[in-house]
Every structure is written in structure tokens, then in C-alpha cells.
Chain A
Amino acid sequence: GAVVSQHPSRVICKSGTSVKIECRSLDFQATTMFWYRQFPKQSLMLMATSNEGSKATYEQGVEKDKFLINHASLTLSTLTVTSAHPEDSSFYICSAQTLAGGTYEQYFGPGTRLTVT
């Protein structure tokens, strides 16, 4: 089956620093990747949609200068949380989408738990 990896799985950083999270599709090419954020015991909230080679589309209320998304290849998208603050502590999950048999299928990564101290 299709596998999506995220790295790192957990990261602790100090307030004011930047953190990069990688999302890779291991055995398929992902034309689109979605980034979600999830606070404890809450829903997954879509942050942005990124298509390979073009700028990401951010959801309303998501600061594009704070959450930088790069989708440089069909197998890799990165989310960089710039100048992180404790309120950015959350679980970040990516989802990679591919076209298979005429339909779009989405596969989730295992998530990255970010703690900002």
C-alpha cells in the first residue's frame, strides 16, 4: 500500500526558533499534499494545500509567513514553522494525494508532534 512518512515524529524546540517538518510519499508520486494541524482531543484542521511546483494555498486564518510550505518535488513537501511560539505546539499531519485508477486517493503520514518551550 501507499506509504507516507513524516520526519521528525517528535520535536521540541525553544520559542523563537524555526522547525522544519518533512512529508514524503515513499512509493508513489503526490501531485498534491495537504497539511493539517490537530490540537489535543480536537479535530484535524486543514492549514494549506500544496501542489508540486506552485505556491501553497492557505486556509483562512493561517499565517503564510509563519507556516512556510514548499513542495519542491512529487515526493516531498516541507512545512517550516518560523519563529515558533508555545501556542504553535500541536500535532501536524500531512496527507499526500495521488491519482489512481481515475480517482484521487489520499494517504496520511504518521504525524509530527511539535512542542515549543
Chain B
Amino acid sequence: AQKITQTQPGMFVQEKEAVTLDCTYDTSDQSYGLFWYKQPSSGEMIFLIYQGSYDEQNATEGRYSLNFQKARKSANLVISASQLGDSAMYFCAMREGSRQAGTALIFGKGTTLSVSS
């Protein structure tokens, strides 16, 4: 069974609009971390935002926010005021165990976001 599910292969949004990228996860661990990365065409992995399973508040980083719904096991990324430079592939990832555990990240299949003017 997939541990990270991203059901949107592609998303299209106009500049300055907000967009939500979906992510659901599956784990039996009580302690885990959820990450979002941006991968432009150059291939580099750019860290966007992190949410720990015990964090009560939704994480925010500038225009990025993570809508964490623990009971539904979802961790959607919200990008506000989209910009042309946001066009890229976006990956949701999970690390099982606490942040003191040092295990590898497991990635979803990704969502390609296209922002138009």
C-alpha cells in the first residue's frame, strides 16, 4: 500500500490565485513528520514546509501553509497568491518516527503545478 498518495497528477492555476495540492498518508506510527518539496525543471529539491505529527498548529512559511488534518491523515499544501515561478513539480513526503529517528523520507508521486498569467 502506498504510504503517500497525491491524487492530482497536474494542477492549473492563474497567477495571484490560491491553489491546494492534496496529500494523504498512511502510517501506524504515532510520531512522524510530513514535508513538502518543490522540484523545478532543474531537478533540485527545494524544501518548502514541515509539519510534525504532534504539532497542533498548521505550519506556515510565507505563501505556503500546510492544512494538517490528522484524523483524516491528510496534509494538503496551500499556496497563496500563485506566481509564475511556482510552476514546478511538488512532492509530499513523510518520515516515520520522530525527528530524532533519522529515517529516510518516503515520497508521493508528485503533482505538476502550472501557473499561467
Contacts and interface: CB of A to CB of B under 8 A. Distances in A.
B interface, over-half SS: loop
Which of B89, B104, B109 counts the most chain A CB atoms within 10 A? B104
Contacts of A104: 99-102
Interface in A66-117: 91, 93, 95, 97, 99, 102-104, 106, 108, 110-111, 113
A99 B99 CA distance: 10
A36 B105 CA distance: 10
A41 B91 contact: no
Give the dominant DSSP class at A's interface: strand
Contacts, number: 51
A113 B91 CA distance: 19
B104 A34 contact: yes
A111 B44 contact: yes
Nearest to B52: A103
A49 B104 CA distance: 8
Given A43-B108, A108-B44, A113-B43, A99 B102 contact: yes
Contacts of A41: 89, 110, 112
Interface residues of B, number: 20
B106 interface: yes
B109 A102 contact: no
Nearest to A102: B100
Contact of A97 (B47, B91, B102, B106): B102
Contacts of B89: 41
Interface of B: 37, 42-45, 47, 89, 91, 99-102, 104-110, 112
30 contacts: A31-B102, A32-B102, A36-B107, A41-B110, A41-B112, A42-B109, A43-B91, A43-B107, A43-B108, A43-B109, A43-B110, A44-B45, A44-B91, A44-B105, A44-B107, A45-B107, A49-B104, A95-B105, A97-B102, A99-B102, A102-B100, A104-B101, A104-B102, A106-B105, A108-B37, A108-B44, A108-B47, A110-B42, A110-B44, A111-B44
Please give me the 6 A-B residue pairs with the lowest Cβ-Cβ distance, nearest first. A104-B102, A108-B45, A103-B99, A111-B43, A44-B107, A43-B109
